[in-house]
Amino acid sequence: MALHAPTARFQATNCSTPPPILAPTGNTVGLRAPSDRFALKSSFFSPSLHVLLAASTRRCQQPLASAAPKFSMRVATKQAYICRDCGYIYNERTPFEKLPDKYFCPVCGAPKRRFRPYAPAVAKNANETAVRKARKAQIQEDETIGSA
């Protein structure tokens, strides 16, 4: 494969047609079309080829300033929820609001309506048995004080 200097035809502004140097030769009858029409068919790489390809891609690119800003639909903060019956803390990837109404506590079987938002930071061992029982005792104590 010999490289030639670009001709005047190569300097055209139409980016949809490949330059004549990199155009397919047409002798690939019966073979699949290449996935990238600009892909090299040789293992020979030359600095002049990189300059040639860089000039053609620079011409075809759109300015980045005209692109519209992208907005994400992800929630920035994630709320934890606590079961009022047993102290289990729901802190999974799926937001609590998107869980079905038939969701129930995996520990005690309480329905979704028995969960309340939980403000304190959730530790890694938040759902271990001893920690959960201590939290349940605290919840029951708070409810008896509040109901008096």
- Residue 38, both tokens: 């600009």
For the entire predicted model, the pTM comes to 0.45
> Torsion-angle region of residue 26: left (phi > 0), alpha (psi -120 to 50) or beta?
left
With CA atoms as reference, report the closest residue to 90 among 57, 72, 65, 114. Answer: 114
Amino acid 115: pLDDT: 94
Domains of the chain: 8-66 (no CATH), 80-147 (2.20.28.10)
pLDDT tens-digit profile of 11-60?
545 555 555 555 555 555 556 666 666 665 655 555 666 666 666 666 55
pLDDT at 143 over 60: yes
